[in-house]
A and B are shown apart, each in its own frame.
Chain A
Amino acid sequence: GAGVSQSPSNKVTEKGKDVELRCDPISGHTALYWYRQSLGQGLEFLIYFQGNSAPDKSGLPSDRFSAERTGGSVSTLTIQRTQQEDSAVYLCASGTGGAGELFFGEGSRLTVL
């Protein structure tokens, strides 16, 4: 499809396990964002990639969280040693850069037992 694609859509894991969440942005979009949305809350910024620039990691809540973007396209968000408080929907968005409109995927719902 032409939109932002995220996988898995749902992930249930045990506390302490590592998880990887994938985002496939819209082709040609240079900007890619990861946000986290806890139940009933707004969106919490995690990390931002723009072209070949160093990513803005200022929103990552701990060193258990990391993300990479390979070839300026697909991005993977990795959470190591998951904790119950990591349970949330992780949303990926892409855009053409700058402060313009973002196009969001449907999110990956993570549940840590």
Chain B
Amino acid sequence: AQKITQTQPGMFVQEKEAVTLDCTYDTSDPSYGLFWYKQPSSGEMIFLIYQGSYDQQNATEGRYSLNFQKARKSANLVISASQLGDSAMYFCATPNGNNRLAFGKGNQVVVIP
């Protein structure tokens, strides 16, 4: 079964600075994908970015980018130019067989002005 690990403690980041959120995964599938979701205090899970294991270039979506290192089984999320609205929990996820997404425990980010 696939496993996602997010072990960073809560992070404080200065507004306009970049922040990197760590995610490591363990999978035996030859083809897989990594998802990042944001969960603000409202509780809704918001899709941010996705990268497939065979994608050649790291995915980017606006201020979000994935630092995907297959050899290390790492798929870190980089948020550039942090904004106050980026304060949230961030979850990394990967399909866990039968098309079920398995989520990590999340990283807490607080952006300070």
Interchain nearest-CB distance for A94 vs B (Å): 12
Cross-chain contact B45 with A101 (CB below 8 angstroms)? no
Q: Which residues of A contact B106 (CB under 8 A)?
A: 42
Cross-chain contact B98 with A56 (CB below 8 angstroms)? yes
Q: How many A-B residue pairs have CB under 8 A?
A: 56
Q: Which residues of A contact B37 (CB under 8 A)?
A: 104
* In the complex with contacts A93-B45, A99-B101, A45-B91 CB distance below 8 A: no
Interface residues on B, range: 20 to 34
Q: Mark B66-105, 1 if CB is under 8 A from A, else 0.
A: 0000000000000000000000000101011011111111
> Chain B residue with minimal CB distance to A43?
B103
Interchain CA distance A91-B37 in the complex, whole Å: 14
Interface membership of A65, Cβ < 8 A: no
Cross-chain contact A106 with B105 (CB below 8 angstroms)? no
Partner of B91, one of A43, A93, A105: A43
Partner of A48, one of B35, B47, B50, B98: B98
Cross-chain contact B104 with A56 (CB below 8 angstroms)? no
> Chain A residue with minimal CB distance to B50?
A101
Q: Mark A54-69, 1 if CB is under 8 A from B, else 0.
A: 0010010000000000
Interchain nearest-CB distance for A11 vs B (Å): 14
